[in-house]
Structure 1
Amino acid sequence: MLEAINAVLDNVAHRMPELLVSLSETFLMVGIALGAAILVGIPVGTLLYLTRKGGLVERPRLFALFDILVNVVRSFPFMILIVALIPVTRFLLGTSLGTVAASVPLSIVAIVYYGRLVEQSLLDVDRGVITAAVSMGATLPEIVFKVLLVEARSGIVYGLTIATISFLSFSTLAGAVGGGGIGDFAIRYGYFRFETDTMVFTIVVIVLLVQLIQFSGSRLSRVIDKR
């Protein structure tokens, strides 16, 4: 029994350098996707909220266009989206292989996925607060930045937490384009090489990452929630 345990520990220790490289690749992919989600996803979600029927800037055609685009991208299985966006990735980066290349489809998914979560958070804002701001003569930028985003900040942060965990899950498919990552590491050694101990250890690492993200995001969401 002791010899078996030592063999498992030795094998895991032998794979540790590669595991750390895979973790860095995952952090890079998820970090790029998070940046895209925050910088573009929040404006997309805000635009969906403002232009929908009954919104502050009601534009049915513009809303329908963005709504359809978001729904179309979200309907694609991520693996198929990776393949479908290979020409776009190659045009932007000159290659469709590698960690950064895998971040392109992941970022597009991140934008539409988080944009929809932001829209939902804004819909949860009390209409009375918005009506009060309008009655006091607040401009549209003031309503957006000083009322809507402030009132919805807790939901926006919590949505980012949920989105981050999803991005981590999506990144496991990055191996299809040579993107690496911890998911690809688990598949290569746990599935193709039948190193069950390595796969189990990798799964434990992923579970701990998810728990850390969920705990941190939920805690921050509660702290900034002033309702």
Structure 2
Amino acid sequence: MEFDVNHLIEFLPEINLAFMQTLYMIAIALFVAVMIGLPVGILLFVTDKGLFWENRIINQVIGFIVNMIRSIPFIILLVALIPFTVWLVDSMIGPTAASVSLSVAAIPFFARLVETAFRKIDYGVIEAAIAAGGTPWMIIKDVLLPEAKSGIISGITITVVSLVGTSAIAGTVGGGGIGDLAIRFGYYRYDDTIMITTVVILIVFVQLIQLIGDKIAKVVDKK
């Protein structure tokens, strides 16, 4: 493999654009995942057996939908959602279109991480809140979310790292971003410089996200 620094300098505008497109896709998908996945994760937890909103039907229906979406490989999900994507954003290619599939994939993924974070809470804390006369909404707002915030932040970090990989997959079918650049130039044109650069960018980006996420999670962890 050959690495040409001059070629890399010439290609910097393309690399910068691709990286911005990746950030754009990840930002949209993460926002949607948190806005929808967090409530879904809460419902999965509080409707489970022994909790204050216990409801077997709701729990199983939500759990089935979450598991169903998570079981579909992303590339298949991306193709299956093309009609919905075209209806929603009037396009089937580009970063915005890819963000639709990324968001759908991220919602159930993050929801399960939120549910897991809640399950790590000492149940005695929840029982004490119930005994004190706390309403379900108060328990969720004042007990569950504060107690699980470190785990939720870790879940956000894991979701972002996962989105980096799936956004690269989206690039292989016209989604744009680093993955698209790697495929078009690094793979199809046998451009070692671009391939090496894109790989290094993704590795460094993931390491930074993980480092920052871990630091924040430790800061907010009361334990």
Question: Which TM bucket (shorter chain)?
Answer: over 0.9
Q: Deviations over 1:2-27 (max 9, x none)?
A: xx76xx10111111100000001100
Which deviates more, 48-57 or 69-78? 48-57
Matched letter for residue 158 of structure 2? I
Is 1:108 the counterpart of 2:104? The answer is yes
Is 1:80 the counterpart of 2:76? The answer is yes
Kindly indicate whether the alpha-carbon contact (under 8 Å) linking 1:96 and 1:177 is maintained by their aligned counterparts in 2.
no
Matched letter for residue 160 of structure 2? T
TM-score, normalising length from structure 2? Answer: 0.97
Counterpart of 1:150 (choices 138, 141, 146) is: 146
Counterpart of 1:169 (choices 165, 169, 187) is: 165
Kindly indicate whether the alpha-carbon contact (under 8 Å) linking 2:21 and 2:95 is maintained by their aligned counterparts in 1.
yes
Q: Deviations over 1:112-153 (max 9, x none)?
A: 100000000001110000011111101111100110010000
Partner Cα separation in structure 2 for residue 143 and residue 149 of structure 1: 9
Which deviates more, 41-50 or 186-195? 186-195
In the TM superposition, residue 193 of structure 1 has moved relative to its aligned partner by 0.6
Q: Secondary structure at the match of 2:86?
A: helix
Partner Cα separation in structure 2 for residue 128 and residue 217 of structure 1: 28
Structure 1 residue runs of 5 or longer lacking an equivalent are none
Matched letter for residue 57 of structure 1? W
Q: Deviations over 1:29-84 (max 9, x none)?
A: 00001101111110000000011122220110111110000000000110000000
**Aligned residues: CA RMSD:** 1.1
Q: Deviations over 1:141-177 (max 9, x none)?
A: 1100110010000000011101100001000122244
Structure 2 partner of 1:199: 195
Counterpart of 1:214 (choices 178, 196, 210) is: 210
TM-score, normalising length from structure 1? Answer: 0.95
Q: Deviations over 1:94-122 (max 9, x none)?
A: 22222101100100111110000000000
Partner Cα separation in structure 2 for residue 183 and residue 177 of structure 1: 9
Is 1:137 the counterpart of 2:99? The answer is no
Q: Secondary structure at the match of 1:152?
A: helix
Kindly indicate whether the alpha-carbon contact (under 8 Å) linking 1:98 and 1:177 is maintained by their aligned counterparts in 2.
no
Counterpart of 2:220 (choices 208, 221, 224) is: 224
Structure 1 partner of 2:56: 60
Matched letter for residue 196 of structure 2? V
Structure 2 partner of 1:128: 124
How many residue pairs match? The answer is: 222
Kindly indicate whether the alpha-carbon contact (under 8 Å) linking 2:93 and 2:175 is maintained by their aligned counterparts in 1.
yes
Q: Give the fraction of aligned pairs with identical amino acids, expressed as a percent.
A: 43
Q: Secondary structure at the match of 1:137?
A: coil
Structure 1 partner of 2:28: 32
